[in-house]
Every structure is written in C-alpha cells, then in structure tokens.
Amino acid sequence: MTKIIGLTGGIGSGKTTVARYIAAQGIPVYIADEEAKKVMNTPEVLSLVAKTFGDSVIEKGVINRQKLAQLVFNAPEKLQELNNIIHPKVKQDFENWVKKHHNHPFVIKEAAILFESGSYQFCDKIITVTAPENVRIQRVMQRDSVTEDQVLARMQNQWKEDEKIALSDYVIQNVNIEHTKIQVDNILKTLKKNQ
C-alpha cells in the first residue's frame, strides 16, 4: 500500500521549495494549499463560503482570498468555520489523488497546517522543514511584500517549531539550498530503503 509522507513547516521555512525538489525526483507531491485553492472555487464550496462569510468575498465567480483572509486571520472562530468547509473537501480530493498514485511506494503530502488540521495523524512519516525565525520572517516579507508584524501575526496561527519537530520523523534545516538538497536526498534514500 502507498505510504503517505507528510511534509510541513512554518511559514517561510521553505517547505514548498523542498516539495518541488522532491517532485523533481519523480515522487508524486500533493501541495495542499494549491489544491485547496482549486477546491475553494468549486460551485459547492463557493456557495458555502458565501453563505458563511457573505457575498462580498466572492468576486467574478471566485473567492477573493485577500478579503477572506482579512476576515479570518485574527478571528480563530472564523478561521475554524472556514476550515470546517475546506478541510473535508481537500481531504476527499487528497484521497482521490492517492488512489491515482497507488503504484508508487510513497507519496508526499505538503501542507502548511499538517499538525494544526490534525491530518498528520493519517501520515506514515512526517518531515518538518525549519529555518531560524529571523530567516523565515525575511523570506515572507520579501515573498509577500508584507510587514514583519503581518508575518508574526500569521505565525501566531501556526504551531511553534519545537512542537512540530517533536512529532516529526525527519527534520530539514533549510538555510542553504545545497545543504537542504543533501538532507532531502538522504531522507528519500531512507524512505525508499524502508519500503
């Protein structure tokens, strides 16, 4: 049976960079955020989001993610409502995706909130990508053109690094890309050997 390897890390850790490197090695990678965006714009989800958060978050038949983010980012109960709509749909989408890749010994599920959503419990192994907080803040500020305070506010919605690391089978220190690739290669070798 195909094993599910969870891949996560805090905002700005570089988990997507790691995911893309793994995919380049021919291993199927499910990027939960990207797939969630697709799922969010299905008619069923659009209807539920509009009903819950108001029609103003829907523009030209798609969710205005910035407007929605403003509503949920500092409101844990609103974020929970959104997660209750999105997560079951993404879970189903992921299960369908795994079935399509059943001929692979393992697949990677990259998700920013692997722990926060509880979906880590359905993974056979977990890889956490980490980097020093100051590096992560700088990366996100550059990537998203946001302030340090905005990055810190987002970090508040995620588990602390040490909590993630404690539940992980593998940890990648992502500061230098070449060193990161070596760490990934070693983990992939171990995973392939243990099939």
For residues 148 and 134, give the distance between their C-alpha atoms in angstroms, rounded to a whole number. 10
Which three-class secondary structure state does DSSP give residue 45? helix
pLDDT of residue 75: 86
pLDDT of residue 154: 87
The full set of domain ranges for the chain reads 1-28+105-195, 37-100
The conformational region for residue 32 under phi > 0 = left, psi -120 to 50 = alpha, else beta, is: alpha
Q: Which value, in Å, is the radius of gyration of the alpha carbons in the chain?
A: 17
Instruction: Name the DSSP class of 143.
Output: H
Annotated binding site for ATP: 12-17
For residues 23 and 111, give the distance between their C-alpha atoms in angstroms, rounded to a whole number. 15
Annotated binding site: 12-17
Burial class for 5, CB neighbours closer than 10 Å (0-12, 13-18, 19+): buried
pLDDT of residue 142: 94
pLDDT of residue 69: 87
Sign of CA dihedral 189, 133, 136, 5: positive
CATH 3.40.50.300 is held by the domain 1-28+105-195: yes
pLDDT of residue 96: 95
For residues 129 and 171, give the distance between their C-alpha atoms in angstroms, rounded to a whole number. 6
pLDDT of residue 22: 98
pLDDT of residue 182: 97
One pLDDT digit (tens) per residue for the chain, 195 residues = 899 999 999 999 999 999 999 999 999 999 998 998 899 889 999 999 999 999 999 999 899 988 998 898 778 899 889 989 988 898 899 999 999 999 999 999 999 889 988 889 999 999 999 999 999 999 999 999 999 999 998 888 788 889 999 999 999 999 999 999 999 999 999 999 987
pLDDT of residue 37: 87
pLDDT of residue 98: 96
